[in-house]
Structure 1
Amino acid sequence: MWSLLAGFILLTLYALGLRTLVPPDEGRYAEIAREMFASGDWITTRLNGIKYFEKPPLQAWMNALTFTVFGLGDWQARLWTGLCGMVGVLMTAWAGRLVFGPRAGFYAGLVLASSLFWLASGQINSLDMSLSGMMTICLASLLIAQRDEASAPARRNWMLACWAGMALAVLAKGLIGVVLPGAVLVLYTLVSRDWRIWTRLHAGKGLLLFFAIATPWFIAVALRNPEQPRFFFIYEHFERFLNTGHQRKGAWYYFLVLLLPGFLPWIAVLPQSLAAGIKRQAGSFQPRLLLLTWAVFILVFFSYSSSKLPGYIVPIFPALAMLAALYLEAAPRRQHLLAASLLAVLGAATLVAVPYLLKSSARHDAELLRLQQYQPWLMAAAAMLLAGGLLAMELAWKARRDMTVLVIALAGFFATHAILAGFEVVGKDRAGTGLLPALQAELTPGTKLYSVGIYEQSLTYYLRRPVILVDYRDEFAFGLQQEPHLSLPRVDDFVTQWTRDAGSGIHDMAIISLAQHAQLRQRGVPMRIVAQDLRRMVISNRAQAGAATEKMERR
């Protein structure tokens, strides 16, 4: 177990730096933290120098702290989410061990550490794992505190950890961090009729701890920015939940479908695991029912939302992992054999399907080339699933239960890492890092850098400086209402400044789309192409880079 834990931690940490930060989320949250680190302002969060209040600051704080200690970089930007993923696995395994027994805890850790969605979210710099890690602290602490055999001091301490986890979840992503656990507790009480649980929450001390952790930033940011509370609490939490303005719509079964790949390699035991959660246990506290309520309610809650993204359901995976562990511990040999067989079938089917799926999804030859470069990684992942499934089948046939579960977990763990590592061939194109050498060779501290009609989230982070937005609002709409001088609202304004600077010998550069370049060329705007790829282009208002002037600007 110690060897497995050490290997899990080392490989997880190593993989954090294998890939470029992919826009939009990874670049956005890295840049918010970089600007916090550079400015020293840990209260007013900014993106591209513009006030950005869509999310609370926990992830920005942790990333800025990482940048302070280790410097700027890809793995540094992902370190917090990686740690949250590992903490979630450890808390899930520990809660499973104390509440259900050693083998159940061991299985729960293996299931969660190898589930595709959980593992992938821990390798991506977004808020999903930050929220999920804190909510797992809340869930695991509640389970440990409320078990019937818990001593009074243990119950108090673990409940305080639960309250702290909720407070950190609020700082990670907002009121959702307290609304979801609170609603789960209410529903659990109604279904289980365990009314006495409310007397065991240590609510007095817990609320004091909760508000001591969660409220200072909200007070400080509101004092500096009076416009923040209404935007954050009303628009972000209610209006956004109910409308489709962010174009993240999905059918009511959207998350049900995503559970199938998300819970790989354990989908064969998912229905039975959920069904087992209904079984009533001896004693007043019903941990299985609490886990089932947690998973089902959060799934339904986000299914009702008009805004849907795959990462929203990551918080349910610790509960699913514990339920799956309980089922795997009690399941007969044929069920283990079924799980292993389905894994082998999925691996074989993926080996056959990947070349056809990639070819059919490519929109042009250049994209097909990138997908073909990604194909060997996907084929390797499929081969791992196939080999793991076949080996697990043999072990299941021999009734070697622990080794069967371990082999399935290892197959899922390494297959997911292969999928993530290989995505670099696609991710670096999305980030636009191929433009950086030419752009940085000509860019100086005195150069005006515009972004016309687009905003490249990752490029801004890698350039270590904001850009001047032109005809672009999107997530900056609220911030630009407060500070409209930080952007140019129209392309005509940009053309006027760009042309005037060109005539005065002032060096300007701009990041634009290929379509925008064609429009500017038709208008006769003076420009020279510095670099381009299939998605965007960098232009300069100089016909030729002047070496002498460049040196003066650098000085």
Structure 2
Amino acid sequence: MKELLHHKYPLLLLAVSLTLLLPHLDIIYVNIMEARNFITAREMVTNNNWLLTTINNLPRYEKPPLPTWLTALAGILFGFDSLFGLRLPVVFATVFLVLMSYKFSKNLELTKKQSFQNGLLLITSFYIFFGGRDNQWDMYTHSFMMASLYFLWKLLQEDSAKAKNAILSGLFFGLSFLSKGPISLYALFLPFLIAYGFTYGFKVRSRWHYGILVLALGTAIGLSWPLYVRFADPESFLETTTREASRWASYNTRPFFYYWSFFTQSGIWTIPSLIALLYPYMKTRVTNLKAYRFTLFWTLASVILLSLIPEKKSRYLLPVLIPMALNTGFYIEYLFEKFKTLTKNEKRMAYFAFGLIGIIAVALSFILPFILKTLNGFWLWYVLVAIASLVCGIIIIRSLLKNNFGKVFYSIIAFQICIMVFGLPLIGAFLGNPDYYSPQKLHVVKAKEHIEIYDLQNYCPEMIWEYGEPIPLIINNGKIKIPKENRFGLLVNIDDTTRLRETFKDYKIEKLLTVDMNPVPKSKKSHKKRLERDFYIVSR
């Protein structure tokens, strides 16, 4: 019992994290990034392509393979038809990140309680708990890098076990690199070094050779796979690296200030996160000013470095949320300690920040029936989430008025859990496409018509994943390869009909059906043409 009490905070973090991540893990449909990961994992197992990775039987070297290796192992254990099983690796990676965040907080000489609160802030940040349900590469690379930074901190701060800490830091550095290349090195590791240098300074004399060991070991592990591919398949590797390098400067470009609403990505903690970033306000209210400065510099350095890259997407802000959770924790800790003695202005600020969450929780109970498409089949989930939200909202508001910030904070965590446990199934009430046609049904058509199936060009990863096996391309990288069969099935993007007629001008072309994987009807803005294919029978 004493041992359990000693580890109560990590165990509670584990319980909260799993409660947020595991329920209804298979309810959200597979997106394009996840589909790419799943297809590559499936082809690893079916074709034994563990090193020269493929997607739709074509070289796939854009991303390092570690997350896909783990996904492939999950596929072997649970089957590739189990979406729940395939997403378990990213759940474990996210839990690992949260626990490393807790341990790192203790490195900053914060109390176990504040470190626990930091972990809760992290796992309940929007992009963290949704990224922890989406099996792509980001969560792995940043989780491993956080472990690397934990041991690097110990190397920089402690005089014992330097070699051990250097080796472990280098190991996790390498695993991070094997998960998504140098992304986390740039977005998390480099900002950490900048913040550490500004705040604590480096003791170079006695530790420089250990720092070299970290970089050497991490680089050796991280570059092992790309170097292998470079020599095993040089032509495809060069083509991939050239294409990826050009995207950084020309694809999805956004202005420098695109990321400067970054604190909103924490979701429910948007306002507390913003307040915690206000250094003039916070500097006289934190118990560990040096640690606060470090997390603030780390957060801002990460945002600035990401802003320098022309290619920008909201999900690229995920690494910023890690130091920002630690930074927000200083404001939360201040409220835990001083809430009853806050000035009027401070109390108004806190009432607005947390009272708004309480009001949203209460309002959610009543407005859901008006925004849901239907409640048929969802009544139980609606009743459960409505009652839970109402109770949490009332407790948040009452606790604010009674100056009990502890109840406020933990009720917000409970509200978040209730949304994920009871509210997530209501996603189905927002969706519905009367024209939905699964690619899996093409197997029936294939058997009935005695044909092979091809795709004209630009395959759709979600379609390949749901179909269950590769679909050969007719046109790939400008090269046309006409099937040998006299009669075959052909998937064609609805915008490619002209190319279809040009390629098969001497063939008989008959449209049979339309495959539509969109979860929403064509009348919705979120309906994507990319998820539609017309299916033709083509014959000589």
Q: Percent identity?
A: 18
Q: How many residues align?
A: 499
- Once the two structures are superposed, the pairs formed by residues 142-291 of structure 1 within 5 Å of their partners are 142-147=152-157, 150=158, 152-153=160-161, 156-188=163-195, 190-192=197-199, 194-196=201-203, 199-200=206-207, 202-227=210-235, 230-231=238-239, 235-236=243-244, 238-244=245-251, 248-257=252-261, 259-260=263-264, 262-275=265-278, 279=283, 286-291=290-295
Q: Is the 1:341–1:390 contact (alpha carbons within 8 Å) kept by the matching residues of 2?
A: no
Q: Distance in 2 between matches of 1:515 and 1:233?
A: 29
Q: Is the 2:13–2:116 contact (alpha carbons within 8 Å) kept by the matching residues of 1?
A: no
- The two structures have a TM-score, normalised by structure 1, of 0.76
Shift in Å, 1:38: 1.2
1:408 to 412, 430, 437: 412
Q: Distance in 1 between matches of 2:110 and 2:95?
A: 21
Cα deviations by residue, 1:532-551 (Å, 9 ceiling, x for unpaired): 445534535289xxxxxxxx
Equivalent position SS for 1:450: strand
- Once the two structures are superposed, the pairs formed by residues 115-134 of structure 1 within 5 Å of their partners are 115-134=125-144
Shift in Å, 1:28: 1.3
Shift in Å, 1:515: 5.1
Equivalent position SS for 1:253: helix
Q: Distance in 1 between matches of 2:68 and 2:436?
A: 23
Equivalent position SS for 2:490: strand
Shift in Å, 1:255: 2.4
Q: Distance in 2 between matches of 1:203 and 1:21?
A: 41
Q: Distance in 2 between matches of 1:134 and 1:69?
A: 23
Cα deviations by residue, 1:287-322 (Å, 9 ceiling, x for unpaired): 433322322122222223222222111112121111
Q: Distance in 2 between matches of 1:379 and 1:454?
A: 44
- Identify the residue that residue 116 of structure 2 maps to in structure 1: 106
* 1:460 and 2:492 are equivalent in the alignment: no
Instruction: Give, as a single letter, the amino acid of the residue that structure 1 aligns with 2:179.
Output: A
Instruction: Give, as a single letter, the amino acid of the residue that structure 1 aligns with 2:183.
Output: I
Return the structure number with greater relative CO, CA threshold 8 A, min gap 6: 1
* 1:49 and 2:57 are equivalent in the alignment: yes
* 1:541 and 2:537 are equivalent in the alignment: yes
Flag the 1:276–1:125 CA change in 2: closer, same or farther, 3 A. Answer: same
- Identify the residue that residue 438 of structure 1 maps to in structure 2: 441
Instruction: Give, as a single letter, the amino acid of the residue that structure 2 aligns with 1:38.
Output: T
The answer to which of 327-336 and 519-528 deviates more is: 519-528
Shift in Å, 1:106: 1.1
- Identify the residue that residue 477 of structure 1 maps to in structure 2: none
Cα deviations by residue, 1:42-100 (Å, 9 ceiling, x for unpaired): 11121111112211111111111211222213123322221111111111122223431
The answer to which of 386-395 and 78-87 deviates more is: 386-395
- Identify the residue that residue 105 of structure 2 maps to in structure 1: 96
- Identify the residue that residue 512 of structure 2 maps to in structure 1: 529
Q: Is the 2:99–2:119 contact (alpha carbons within 8 Å) kept by the matching residues of 1?
A: yes
Flag the 1:398–1:542 CA change in 2: closer, same or farther, 3 A. Answer: same
* 1:26 and 2:43 are equivalent in the alignment: no
2:397 to 393, 398, 405: 393
Shift in Å, 1:443: 2.7
Q: Distance in 2 between matches of 1:470 and 1:428?
A: 32
Q: Is the 1:116–1:416 contact (alpha carbons within 8 Å) kept by the matching residues of 2?
A: no
Q: Is the 1:280–1:289 contact (alpha carbons within 8 Å) kept by the matching residues of 2?
A: no
Q: Is the 1:31–1:460 contact (alpha carbons within 8 Å) kept by the matching residues of 2?
A: yes
Q: Distance in 1 between matches of 2:305 and 2:498?
A: 45
Q: Distance in 1 between matches of 2:381 and 2:148?
A: 36
Q: Is the 2:106–2:112 contact (alpha carbons within 8 Å) kept by the matching residues of 1?
A: yes
Q: Is the 1:252–1:304 contact (alpha carbons within 8 Å) kept by the matching residues of 2?
A: yes
Shift in Å, 1:124: 0.9
- Once the two structures are superposed, the pairs formed by residues 343-382 of structure 1 within 5 Å of their partners are 343-347=357-361
Output the aligned Cα RMSD: 4.2
Instruction: Give, as a single letter, the amino acid of the residue that structure 1 aligns with 2:486.
Output: D
- Identify the residue that residue 77 of structure 1 maps to in structure 2: 86
1:315 to 313, 319, 326: 319
Flag the 1:107–1:189 CA change in 2: closer, same or farther, 3 A. Answer: closer
Cα deviations by residue, 1:174-222 (Å, 9 ceiling, x for unpaired): 1223334453244225523613268447224323431442232122211
The answer to which of 283-292 and 212-221 deviates more is: 283-292
Flag the 1:434–1:326 CA change in 2: closer, same or farther, 3 A. Answer: same
- Identify the residue that residue 553 of structure 1 maps to in structure 2: none
Q: Is the 1:142–1:159 contact (alpha carbons within 8 Å) kept by the matching residues of 2?
A: yes
Segments of 5+ residues of structure 1 without an aligned counterpart are 359-367, 474-479, 503-507, 544-555
Shift in Å, 1:328: 0.8
2:491 to 497, 511, 514: 511
Instruction: Give, as a single letter, the amino acid of the residue that structure 2 aligns with 1:268.
Output: I
- The two structures have a TM-score, normalised by structure 2, of 0.78
Equivalent position SS for 1:308: coil
Q: Is the 1:88–1:136 contact (alpha carbons within 8 Å) kept by the matching residues of 2?
A: yes
2:145 to 135, 154, 160: 135
Instruction: Give, as a single letter, the amino acid of the residue that structure 1 aligns with 2:354.
Output: A
Shift in Å, 1:234: 5.8
Flag the 1:193–1:397 CA change in 2: closer, same or farther, 3 A. Answer: same
Shift in Å, 1:377: 8.4
Segments of 5+ residues of structure 2 without an aligned counterpart are 1-7, 340-346, 517-521, 523-530
- Identify the residue that residue 3 of structure 2 maps to in structure 1: none
* 1:501 and 2:486 are equivalent in the alignment: yes
